[in-house]
């Protein structure tokens, strides 16, 4: 009769079974509660009591004033997120998980960089913020060239990019990235909003002459405005590309006089717009009569800072803008009050979009319960919100573009104060400026998949 020997020594099979069981038991919570903990990711603040955001704005160069206003807005947003000040639009944002105790209980700190409105400088400062300062999100910029460059860098690095002022269709079109989000409106939307207003005011038999800044933003704006004006029956006489920063545009303006055109469309922004508009007025275009009609000038993308630079020349000229401080909704009023009390003057549209982007990022982190980029992307995609100055808004999942109402504005004839330069003539509803993700003007890009840098 054999005798069974019982020992306490584990067999190889026992060890394998135990290992599998341990893995299953310890791994299961991570799978089921990944929203709470998440996998590791680049610049995870971990147990630290602070989280750092990167504000990458033009602090020198032609857009330094706009960059300074963006930075003011970011500082105000940080203040509000940390529970200081009056809370600004945190009080009006709907829905909101923001509590005024930082983000996910961590105090918000920030570092700044100077984009110089140059793609290479902007990428270098964003890289420094990511690698040296350990930021979880990069935001800012006043140019589409910069936005596209920094967005690409953030995608490759595995960091969220919340774009500042960028109006080119390409930012959420052919150059869109999974890690990048744009709150600002785009050139297509400007065209769609302006078209009906131009038809109403100038009729449907016009001959338009385009002067266009020769880079990504100018090209997409020209394409968008031509599409919308030709849709209302206008003819495009000529499309002329002008070098960025040309200064003197006289050699591009004089051919307009003999072209038979009765409308000049200036696809210029910033200093170029100020100079080209000023010089077009000097050449008497606004006093001209062509084809039995008064000659008109249109500036599709406006900002208050530009209007200040162009002075009296903006009077009566139509354009579009993402936001204006004179809006009467609760969100806009709260922001203007907060900003005005802090700095003594109203915010620009660049300041508004940057402030909103910071709150939206913070809220997404709160809803995701983590700073993990891919979780934040999921929280932002398709997110619908209100109370941030543009009415009901949605971050479309397909291209990470915000869809909301667009403002058509006109240079005021009789400004009452130094800030009162533009008047809102129409709030174009979101439905009118919406387009499918695969619209030809936005085709050719791929959102790709989110990268968390791990």
Which residues contribute to the site for other proteins (CB under 8 A)? 60-65, 238, 240, 243, 245, 247-248, 250-252, 254-255, 257-258, 271, 274-275, 278-279, 282-284, 287, 305, 308-313, 325, 333, 336-337, 339-341, 344-346, 416-420
Q: Are 302 and 321 in contact (CB under 8 A)?
A: yes
Q: Which residue, 270 or 373, is less far from other proteins as judged by CB?
A: 270
DSSP 8-state class, residue 418 = T
Q: Which residue, 140 or 373, is less far from other proteins as judged by CB?
A: 140
The per-residue b/e assignment along 70-91, b for 16 or more CB within 10 angstroms, e otherwise, is bbbbbbbbbbbbbeebebbbbb
323: buried, middle or exposed (CB in 10 Å: 19+, 13-18, 0-12)?
Answer: buried
Q: Are 151 and 158 in contact (CB under 8 A)?
A: no
Q: Which residue, 308 or 378, is less far from other proteins as judged by CB?
A: 308
Shortest Å distance, C-beta 331 to other proteins: 13
Shortest Å distance, C-beta 255 to other proteins: 6
Q: Which residue, 109 or 420, is less far from other proteins as judged by CB?
A: 420
C-alpha to C-alpha distances, 71 to 187, 211, 355, nearest whole angstrom = 24, 31, 9
Shortest Å distance, C-beta 310 to other proteins: 7
DSSP structure string for 286-347: GG-EETTEE-EEEEEE--HHHHHHHGGGGBT-EEEES--TT--SHHHHHHHHHHHHHHSSPP
Shortest Å distance, C-beta 254 to other proteins: 4
Shortest Å distance, C-beta 228 to other proteins: 24
Cα separation of 203 and 72, whole Å?
41
DSSP structure string for 71-93: HHHHHHHHHHHTT-TT-GGGGT-
CA angle 265, 266, 268 (to 5 degrees): 155
9: buried, middle or exposed (CB in 10 Å: 19+, 13-18, 0-12)?
Answer: exposed
Q: Which residue, 245 or 382, is less far from other proteins as judged by CB?
A: 245
Task: Output the six-digit token pair for 257.
Answer: 């006089």
Shortest Å distance, C-beta 257 to other proteins: 5
Shortest Å distance, C-beta 42 to other proteins: 34
Token pair 């660049």 is found at: 350
Q: Which residue, 101 or 333, is less far from other proteins as judged by CB?
A: 333
Q: Which residue, 157 or 307, is less far from other proteins as judged by CB?
A: 307
Measuring CA to CA, which residue among 408, 405, 397 is closest to residue 431?
405
Shortest Å distance, C-beta 413 to other proteins: 16
DSSP 8-state class, residue 172 = G
Q: Which residue, 285 or 380, is less far from other proteins as judged by CB?
A: 285
DSSP 8-state class, residue 272 = H
Q: Which residue, 236 or 451, is less far from other proteins as judged by CB?
A: 236
Q: Which residue, 120 or 248, is less far from other proteins as judged by CB?
A: 248
C-alpha to C-alpha distances, 119 to 57, 148, 153, nearest whole angstrom = 12, 8, 11
Provide CB contacts within 8 A for 98, sequence distance 6+: 81, 90, 359, 362, 363, 366
Shortest Å distance, C-beta 261 to other proteins: 12
Cα diameter, the chain: 121
DSSP 8-state class, residue 139 = E
Shortest Å distance, C-beta 187 to other proteins: 23
Q: Which residue, 58 or 195, is less far from other proteins as judged by CB?
A: 58
Shortest Å distance, C-beta 65 to other proteins: 5
């Amino acid at each position: 009769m054999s005798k069974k020997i019982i020992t306490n020594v584990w067999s190889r099979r026992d060890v394998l079974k135990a290992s599998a069981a341990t893995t299953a038991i310890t791994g299961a919570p991570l799978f089921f509660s990944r929203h709470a903990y998440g996998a590791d990711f680049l610049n995870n603040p971990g147990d630290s009591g602070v989280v750092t955001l990167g504000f990458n704005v033009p602090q020198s160069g032609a857009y330094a004033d706009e960059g300074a206003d963006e930075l003011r807005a970011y500082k105000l947003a940080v203040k509000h997120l940390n529970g200081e000040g009056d809370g600004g639009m945190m009080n009006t944002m709907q829905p909101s998980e923001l509590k005024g105790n930082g983000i996910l209980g961590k105090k918000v700190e920030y570092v700044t960089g100077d984009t110089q409105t140059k793609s290479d400088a902007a990428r270098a400062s964003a890289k420094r913020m990511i690698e040296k300062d350990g930021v979880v999100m990069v935001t800012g910029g006043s140019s589409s060239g910069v936005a596209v460059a920094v967005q690409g860098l953030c995608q490759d690095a595995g960091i969220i990019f919340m774009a500042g002022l960028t109006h080119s269709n390409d930012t959420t079109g052919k150059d869109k990235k999974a890690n990048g989000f744009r709150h600002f409106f785009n050139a297509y939307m400007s065209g769609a909003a302006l078209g009906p207003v131009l038809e109403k005011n100038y009729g449907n038999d016009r001959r338009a002459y385009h002067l266009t800044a020769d880079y990504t933003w100018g090209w997409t704006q020209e394409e968008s405005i031509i599409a919308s004006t030709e849709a209302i029956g206008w003819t495009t006489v000529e499309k002329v590309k002008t070098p960025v920063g040309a200064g003197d545009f006289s050699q591009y303006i004089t051919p307009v006089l003999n072209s038979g055109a009765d409308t000049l469309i200036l696809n210029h922004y910033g200093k170029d717009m100020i100079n080209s508009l000023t010089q077009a007025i000097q050449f008497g275009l606004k006093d001209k009569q062509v084809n039995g009609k008064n000659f008109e000038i249109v500036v599709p993308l406006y900002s208050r800072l530009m209007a200040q630079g162009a002075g009296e020349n903006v009077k009566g000229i139509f354009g579009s803008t993402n936001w204006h401080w004179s809006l009467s909704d609760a969100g806009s009023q709260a922001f203007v009050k907060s900003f005005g009390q802090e700095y003594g003057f109203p915010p620009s549209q660049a300041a508004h979009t940057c402030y909103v982007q910071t709150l939206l990022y913070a809220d997404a982190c709160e809803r995701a319960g983590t700073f993990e980029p891919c979780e934040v992307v999921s929280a932002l995609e398709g997110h619908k919100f209100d109370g941030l100055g543009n009415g009901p808004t949605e971050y479309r999942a397909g291209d990470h573009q915000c869809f909301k109402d667009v403002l058509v504005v006109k240079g005021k004839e009789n400004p009452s104060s130094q800030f009162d330069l533009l008047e809102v003539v129409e709030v174009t509803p979101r439905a009118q400026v919406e387009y499918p993700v695969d619209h030809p003007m936005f085709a050719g890009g791929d959102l790709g998949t989110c990268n968390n840098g791990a």
